[in-house]
Amino acid sequence: MSGAGVMLAAAGSGSGKTFITCGLLRLLTRHGLRVQSFKCGPDYIDPMFHTRVLGISSRNLDPYFTDSKMLSYLYAKGSRERDLAVVEGVMGYYDGIGGASEAGSSYELASVLGLPVILIVSCRGMSVSAAAIVKGFLDFRQPSRIAGVILNQISEKVYDGVRKVIEESCGIPVLGYVPVKKEFAIESRHLGLVTPDQIENLQARVDGLADVLEQTLELPGLLAIAAGAGQSRIGSGKLPPALEKALNHAGKRPVRIAVAKDEAFCFLYQDNLELLEELGAELLYFSPLRDRTMPKKVQALILPGGYPELYADVLSSNRTMLDSVRRAVESGMPTLAECGGFLYLHEQLEDESGQFRPMAGVIRARAFRTGKLGRFGYIEVTARKDQLLLAAGEIIRSHEFHYWDSENCGSDCHAKKASRQQEWDCVHGSDTLYAGFPHIYFYANPDAAVRLVRKAAEYAERI
**What residues are annotated to the active site?**
339
Residue 430 phi/psi, 5-degree rounding, is: -145, -175
Is the backbone of residue 320 left (phi > 0), alpha (psi -120 to 50) or beta? alpha
What is the distance between the terminal CA atoms of the chain, rounded to a whole angstrom?
52
Cis peptide before 143 (omega within 30 of 0): yes
Q: Cα 226 to chain center, whole Å?
A: 23
Question: What is the distance between the alpha carbons of residues 377 and 401, in angstroms, rounded to a whole number?
Answer: 7
Could you tell me which of 219, 19, 221 has the C-alpha nearest to residue 120?
Answer: 19
* The total number of residues written for the chain in this structure: 463
Question: What is the distance between the alpha carbons of residues 62 and 39, in angstroms, rounded to a whole number?
Answer: 8
Q: What is the 3-state secondary structure (H, E, C) of the chain?
A: CCCEEEEEEECCCCCCHHHHHHHHHHHHHHCCCCEEEEEECCCCHHHHHHHHHHCCCCEEECCCCCCHHHHHHHHHHHHCCCCEEEEECCCCCCCCHHHCCCCCCHHHHHHHHCCCEEEEEECCCCCCHHHHHHHHHHHHCCCCCEEEEEEECCCHHHHHHHHHHHHHHHCCCEEEEECCCHHHCCCEECCEECCHHHCCCHHHHHHHHHHHHHHHECHHHHHHHHHCCCCCCCCCCCCCHHHHHHHHCCCCCCEEEEEECCCCEEECCHHHHHHHHHCCEEEEEECCCCCCCCCCCCCEEEECEECHHHHHHHHHHCHHHHHHHHHHHHCCCCEEEECHHHHHCEEEEECCCCCEEECCCCEEEEEEEEEEEEEEEEEEEEECCCCCCCCCCCEEEEEEEEEEEECCCECCEEEEECCCCCEEEEEEEECCEEEECCEECHHHCHHHHHHHHHHHHHHHHHC
Task: Please count the other Cβ atoms lying within 10 Å of the Cβ belonging to residue 394.
Answer: 17
Pairing state between β 174-178 and 4-10 = unpaired
